Structure 1
């Protein structure tokens, strides 16, 4: 599988809500540097798994709509919107945020991520 295909699989619907599946995509030394509208976060393997677990407690559905994706060798950049459905209102889809992320892959796993998001 190419780097682009791996990243596309990672961002398929509901994957981010499945902790075990998320773990399969992550390199054990993964680091995600995330600049959000609320500040800067540096997440490691266990932090990303914990985030996935928290998302699964709050949302029943997660959908990523990728508008741009560019790949070169083991680096993939994508722009996407993340939509969710809450437990309280599972019929209404709401925009969580807009994202831009660049992933570097190592051994066919997500290794270094550089992400920006805005509500």
Structure 2
């Protein structure tokens, strides 16, 4: 598989229900450098296992909508919105956050991720419209 196909498969997987997500997609020596509205966090393989465990405990389903998915060798750049159905409100899907990420793929696994995110505001028409412009 190409780096782009691996990244697409990761984002198309069942984040909310698949306990094997980390072992299936992440390199044992992976790092995720993530800057969000809460600040910077550096996660390794063990941290990602905990993170996705929390995701499975909070959401019934998660999906991503992409505006950009660009491959250059072993690197894939994405721009996307995260949507989810929480356990508390399973009948309503909400836009949760907007992301830009750069993934390095090594040995057919996600090896290094550099991600920036901010909370989605469904009342901000310009922002939502910007993330609806599909450029793939």
What TM-score, normalized by structure 1, do the two folds share? 0.95
Q: CA RMSD in A?
A: 1.1
The 5-angstrom pairing of residues 82-97 of structure 1 reads: 82-97=82-97
Task: Find the counterpart in structure 2 of residue 115 from structure 1.
Answer: 115
Distance 1:45 1:30 in 2: 6
Query: Equivalent residue for 1:41?
Result: 41
> Which protein is richer in strand relative to its size?
1
* Displacement of 1:15: 3.1
Q: Does 1:11 align with 2:14?
A: no
* Aligned residues between the structures: 119
* 1:52 match: 52
- CA–CA separation in structure 2 for the residues paired with 1:26 and 1:84: 22
* Cα separation, 1, equivalents of 2:82 and 2:13: 10
Runs of 5+ unmatched residues, structure 2? 120-136
- Residues 57-110 of structure 1: per-residue CA shift (max 9 Å, x gap): 011010111110000110000001000101111110011100000000110110
Structure with greater Cα Rg:
2
Q: Following superposition, which runs of at least 4 residues in structure 1 exceed 4 angstroms of deviation?
A: none
Give structure 1 stretches of 5+ with no counterpart: none
Deviation of the 1:19 alpha carbon: 2.6
